[in-house]
Chain A
Amino acid sequence: MNQGLTVLFAEDSAPDRLILQSIITNAGYTAVPAENGLAAIEAFDMHKPDIVLLDVLMPTMGGVEAARILREKDSDEFVPILFLTSLSDTDSLVECIEAGGNDFIPKPFNQTVLLSKIGSFARIREMHSTLSKQKEQIERNNMHLIQEQTVAKQVFDQIAHTGCLDEGYLRYHMSPFAVFNGDVVVADISPTGSMMVLLGDFTGHGLPAAIGSMPLATTFYGMVRKGFSVSDIMREINQKLYDILPVGFFCCATCLDISIKDRRIRYWSGGLPAAMLYRSQEDRFIPLESQNLPLGILSAKDFKDDTERVFLDFGDSVFLWSDGVYEARNPQGQMFGEDNLHSLLEQKKGSPDLFDEILRAVHGHVGEGEKDDDLSLVEIPFIDVEYKSKHSEVAKAAQKKLVDWKMSLSLEASSLKHFDPLPLISNILDEVQGLWPHRTLLYTVIAELYSNALEHGLLGLDSQLKKTPTGFAEYYQTRSDKLDALEKGSIRFDIRHRAEGEGTDAGGTLWIRIVDTGPGFGVEKDVTELNTNKDEVGEAEPVDQFKSRYFGRGLTLLKSVCRSVTIRAPGNDVEIAFAWHSSDK
């Protein structure tokens, strides 16, 4: 490792130079002699030595001055300077070190001492070089990370700020790089004029925390603009995050649906500190507690999308925050804490400056720390205003698509074997904007009707078979065989839609009638079951045995969801009427 070292030495005595030269050359190094300090500096520039030996007392320029000049040269490299000296007084020695010298080699020269010191310092030089390179690598890597984060942030900002966050309907505070702390706030206006707000806090820091914000924001905005409910949106986002986030990563969130018209908020909350609702009439705060696990933890099967409903009055306000507020630390490391925040809320409740007071208090606590501002705070005042979406033009245009229409679709055996009509029908229904919030439900209804028509009506299968695991498998095997063998028979869909009302009072009724060419199930006369109160889920009136056998649980579902269910004799003809309205209940 030390082979090939270049050793520069400055010594004014000629015989001494000869001796040094011999020692150095014999050790296998390259010797570069100089007569004095000045010559040494010139030789330094020309030969770029690895080590420098300097005599102290030399004419023209001594070793100390030469050392100072060499040290002033700008360089990332470390070149050891060893003084050759017979001086023994401490002051002189100190002067050498202060000029930049690293060690002394005594005179008269001792070959062993000389070579050992050269060897040691060569190793130090090597270590320094390695460290330097590693430091440069680290700096480069950091630069890359920062560049990546900047790009990610730009992409995110494009997505996040397409909503109504800056329209003045709410106040929010987040640090500019909050997305890298996992915090996200999105808000937009639904086609029905409600404002939907979501505050999220992803686990982790840096890019992993930011990654989840993208699908969350795009899903949120996409669904809000199509009129989906908080439940649907939370369900969808939960599923997305469940699919993409690694185990242990999740998103605490609170989502609000604020309707001025209906004077109410619907909310879903999982994992965040409780949102605080200020009731101005009662001059007190009510917590909107988190009922659920954060998003991304539960599979679709276990996820609870139920929302709570709270009424509001003008003058009320809702405050949301992530736990960055509690965890803000002062220079001593103490957290701001939940108690502090709650007592501040209590002190200043009703004050229009409460939002600013909270920010002031937390920033005051944190002080001049170098920590990034890591708190997210949202205030939504409940005022008599109409939420106007930037996208309302698009929404209105969309509303003018399918309004009053009807269609009929008949499928013969040959088509039924290979073609599943449900996605097609679902797509057509998608063109009725008012039905969007009910997509999932309607799909279930149509699927139920179709499967009854096909499997019971045409294929003659008995659904009782599905009740046991082996029976289940047998059922579907039989279904597959019988479908392949189907020669004749057909199913007809008759679908009608009529719209009623306008704007926020818009509504409509969808009729879906499915008729199959099967024998029916012994229904002797037409029956219509009315569901006068759609909120009564699962309330079964005494049901005719035939009907219950025919539909299984299907009838209960249809009845609970549809305004009416009509079965026409002999039972192969079922029509449901489904009503929708632009405001929910």
Chain B
Amino acid sequence: MSDSFLDHEALGSLKELLGENFDLLLETFLNDGQQRIGLLVQALNEKNLQTVREQAHGLKGSSNNLGITQLGALCSDIEIQARDENPNGLEQKIATLQQMFAAVSSEIERYAS
């Protein structure tokens, strides 16, 4: 994947806004995202679409707030599908999400340092 997931302009604004808490924000995002994905996968296994929906919704929000729109869009798809109780291809989407998040995490770590 050659394109960056990150929007440097958006991140720049946030850095201004958060000041010395910017690193904390990034760290919190990563931890929060990690946790949500874990719950998401578990929920899928338990066929708990409500939880899938909720966690996808949460990660969508925080991704978009950080300008990581691709990640946000994928979460949105998953959220809608879970809401509509449509299991077709849901498992693949969630797998894609895990991968994308891993990539995003690396980029963020590189950005932060």
Contact = CB atoms under 8 A, between A and B. Distances in A.
B65 A14 contact: no
Counting chain B residues whose Cβ lies within 8 A of the other chain, the interface size class is 20 to 34
Interface of A: 12-16, 18-19, 22-23, 26, 57, 59, 86, 107-109, 111
Contact of A19 (B18, B59, B60): B18
Interface string B45-69: 0000000001001111110111100
22 contacts: A13-B61, A15-B25, A15-B28, A15-B62, A15-B65, A16-B61, A16-B62, A16-B65, A18-B18, A18-B28, A19-B18, A19-B65, A23-B17, A57-B57, A59-B54, A86-B60, A86-B61, A107-B61, A107-B65, A108-B61, A108-B64, A108-B67
Contacts of B31: 14
Contact of B58 (A12, A22, A23, A111): A12
A107 B76 CA distance: 13
A23 B19 CA distance: 11
Contacts of A14: 28, 31-32, 62
B105 to A, nearest CB: 13
Contact of B17 (A19, A86, A108): A19
B2 to A, nearest CB: 25
B44 interface: no
Contact of B24 (A13, A16, A18): A18
Given A15-B62, A57-B54, A86-B60, A26 B32 contact: no
Interface string B1-45: 000000000000010011101001100110110000000000000
A107 B28 CA distance: 19
A109 B65 contact: yes
Nearest to A56: B57
Contacts of B57: 57
Q: Which of A18, A19, A57, A107 has the most CB of B within 10 A?
A: A18
A108 B28 CA distance: 17
Instruction: Please name the 3 residue pairs, one residue from A and one from B, whose CB atoms are nearest each other, closest first.
Output: A15-B29, A108-B64, A15-B62
A39 B64 CA distance: 25
Contacts of A26: 17
B84 to A, nearest CB: 13
Interface centre among A14, A26, A86 (most CB of B within 10 A): A14
Contact of A13 (B17, B18, B62): B62
Contacts of A111: 17
Contacts of A19: 14, 17-18, 25, 65
A284 B64 CA distance: 97
A22 B21 contact: yes
B18 A108 contact: no
Contact of B64 (A23, A57, A59, A107): A107
A14 B66 CA distance: 13
A12 B32 CA distance: 10
Residue in B25, B28, B61, B64 whose Cβ sees the most chain A Cβ within 10 Å: B61
